[in-house]
A and B are shown apart, each in its own frame.
Chain A
Amino acid sequence: MNFAFLPFHKTLINSLLLTIATVCFGAYSFGQLKPTSELDIIDMVGEGGITLMTLIWIFFTLVSRPSGRVTNLLFIGLLFTHVSVLLDFLDEFFIYPDDHWLTAIEALPAPLGMVLMSIALYQWHQEQTAINYQLSRTERFYREHSLVDFTTGLYSAEYMKQQIRLEINHAKNQQTSFSLMMFDLRYFAQFNQDYGYQHGDLMLREVAQLIQMNIRDGDIACRYASDRFIVLMPNTLEVTTKEIEQQTKRAIEYLAFKHDQTSDAIYPKVITCHHQYRGWHSYKEVLHDINTHLSAAKQLAKQPCSA
């Protein structure tokens, strides 16, 4: 689990602890401990469980979200709900004087909290829409976080395989075609040896972003393996593919990668290839084929230019 967000929520965590302390102290000072004979184990376990659950929800909200308006709102909503549940739980241990105000308001925070949470969820929905838009060139129809490549933030080859399978079915049924592009960084092993693997990872990340910026909405880019990237372009003609391939290649080769605080730049070189497919082959054959195209392009690039 990643707890990187927790340090940013110090205020929220403090207010949570303060609230719990206040509620417990309030219950203790206004009420009287029940005699052991009156304790109802089943109620205690049930309500204790709910109290614990709301705490777990608060915990997961805090560890998974950066600070901000939506997080605050979610937190406050959950906190109010938690207060109600906690008071209910403390009821099991304390007897309050008849008609004490504490019993009267006990139920109030929960509905208030739920209203706040509903507002928060609506805003979360809007936030998610914005994020989905940002992701539009890396994902289509389907989300599976375990398939995201850690280094580049793109999806991995496994996700591309699923997408190609879908696309093949689509192409078969609708008599359409789709194109694949592949990019391979040249001299990447050498780069890693010269500048270290951290810089290698950074380079991959930047190239990934450049590819994303240069493709169209509706295309998706994935990291295939190592220094190899793959782009799926549904319903695309060869000419268009070729043009986008050249544009992307140019964009990558203009990247002035900085490895230190100096202005010295390294310009990456890429080998590219593309091909158009119909739904005639399996996804394994398609992937094998596009890799063969790439190897051919590599061979061609290795040969010294004939004048």
Chain B
Amino acid sequence: MPFFEQHEKTLVIPLWVILLVDMAKQRHIAPDKLLKGSKLFLSDLSNPKLQISHQQFSRVIENVSKYLPHSDSSFLLGSRLYPNHLESAGQVMAHAENLSDIITAARHFHYQIFPFLFMRNESTDQHQYYIFNQAISIGSISHYQFICELFSSLIISIAKQKQLPVSRLSIRFPYPVPRHIEQYQAYLPCKFEFSPRANTESTFSTQQAYYLPLQIKLDKGLLMFPLANANAALIKHYQQKVPSTPLKVGFIHYVMQQMVNRVQSKQEINADWLAKHLSISNATLKRKFCQHNVTYQQLFDMVRQQQAVFLLIEHNFNNEKIAENLNFSDITNFRRSFKRWTGFTPQALKKAFFT
């Protein structure tokens, strides 16, 4: 298989768990509470090569939300990871000359530094967009929110250490304004916005988190902005230490990538094609989707919906152009699908975004 699944022990992130355990200790919470049900033991964590599954880590995060009910756990973890706990990747980034270098490093080290999200990029005339979706499995809303907070606080601590003008970054979170907005205000000195709540009529209304991706937007000039602490020789040194990138990507990452490619090249895609492409039976494929908390149709809707919303909001395309881009035969059909995805008509959604 060209992908790995949520129960496969492929993630080498013992340090993350150690940092979480440290946070628990600092707050006088017994460390074993965090590991409850994850089949991990404190003694395992001392093994630097320890591999854990997405399932196990999700369980730890669930415990964190339960036993460390401080809304700052995700932000704290994100700000503590960099640079020391990202190892070689952290060192490459710490010495990068410009943002473009950092992004290349991020792509290269993707599954070592942040296996939970995968990145696509888009651009308009002035702006560069980095779009992040869950890579391995579709988690619950609270899980997704934790991951988004963790990730953005990590990004910001990298940007701050490199003295990048963070006020020129803008992060859009895929959920409505959360209760603990103060954490965002204190930890994220960049611009940030939230997404409108999915309308109750939408396919995704029960799972608002699937509505949109996490999106980071910056003006293109920032990519080549000279950064602090640049050292090309050190980068070379650390790059040589890099283990060859694993070929396998997360299950959701793989499927979404296929869908995006097929849509862009105007080729048809459906579950049968995917099953055949992977040489597995339809039933097996269906079971795999189920294990990752999503169906084929939901994921496909999500891909097209995200593209439609991006074209609508960032490119300011009209319905005809969007329909054409997404291979819809006619506008009525597109409008109906759009309504089914988001619960809004394109114009209403646009309004919801800008108010």
Q: Which residues of A contact B (CB under 8 A)?
A: 2, 150, 157, 184, 189, 192, 197-198, 201, 224-228, 284, 287-288, 291, 295, 298-299
Contacts and interface: CB of A to CB of B under 8 A. Distances in A.
A197 B26 contact: yes
Nearest to A190: B161
A158 to B, nearest CB: 8
B79 interface: yes
A187 B180 CA distance: 23
A12 to B, nearest CB: 24
Given A224-B186, A225-B185, A226-B186, A197 B72 contact: no
Nearest to B184: A225
A295 B185 CA distance: 9
Contact of B186 (A2, A225, A288): A225
A291 B189 CA distance: 10
A192 B23 CA distance: 13
B80 A197 contact: yes
A224 B182 contact: yes
Given A189-B160, A201-B26, A295 B182 contact: no
B314 interface: no
Nearest to A193: B84
B183 to A, nearest CB: 5
Contacts of A284: 181
B157 A226 contact: no
Contact of A226 (B27, B28, B72): B72
Among A198, A228, A298, chain B packs the most CB atoms within 10 A around the CB of: A228
Contacts of A288: 185
A157 B167 contact: no
B22 interface: yes
Given A150-B70, A197-B80, A226 B183 contact: yes
Contacts of A201: 26
Contacts of B157: 189
A289 to B, nearest CB: 11
Contact-residue size bin, chain B (C-beta under 8 Å from the other chain): 20 to 34
Nearest to B83: A193
A150 B27 contact: yes
A228 B186 contact: yes
Contacts of A225: 72, 180, 182-183, 185-187
Give the 4 A-B CB pairs with smallest separation, nearest first: A225-B186, A157-B182, A226-B186, A225-B182
A205 to B, nearest CB: 12
Contacts of B160: 189
Given A197-B22, A287-B182, 15 more contacts: A150-B27, A150-B28, A184-B186, A189-B79, A189-B160, A197-B26, A224-B186, A225-B72, A225-B183, A226-B72, A226-B187, A287-B181, A288-B185, A291-B185, A299-B167
Contacts of A184: 186
A291 B188 CA distance: 11
Interface string B18-34: 00001000111000000
Interface string B175-215: 00000111101110100000000000000000000000000
A273 to B, nearest CB: 13
Contacts of A295: 167, 189
Nearest to A2: B28
B95 to A, nearest CB: 16
Interface string B310-336: 000000000000000000000000000
B173 interface: no
Interface in B26-59: 26-28
B75 interface: yes
Nearest to A226: B186
B26 A198 contact: yes
A225 B75 CA distance: 10
A201 B76 CA distance: 12
Contacts of A197: 22, 26, 80
A8 to B, nearest CB: 18
Among B182, B187, B189, chain A packs the most CB atoms within 10 A around the CB of: B182
Nearest to B160: A189
Contact of B189 (A2, A224, A287, A298): A298
A42 B313 CA distance: 73
Contacts of B72: 225-226
B30 to A, nearest CB: 11
Contacts of A226: 72, 75, 183, 186-187
Nearest to B177: A284
Contacts of A157: 180, 182
A185 to B, nearest CB: 10
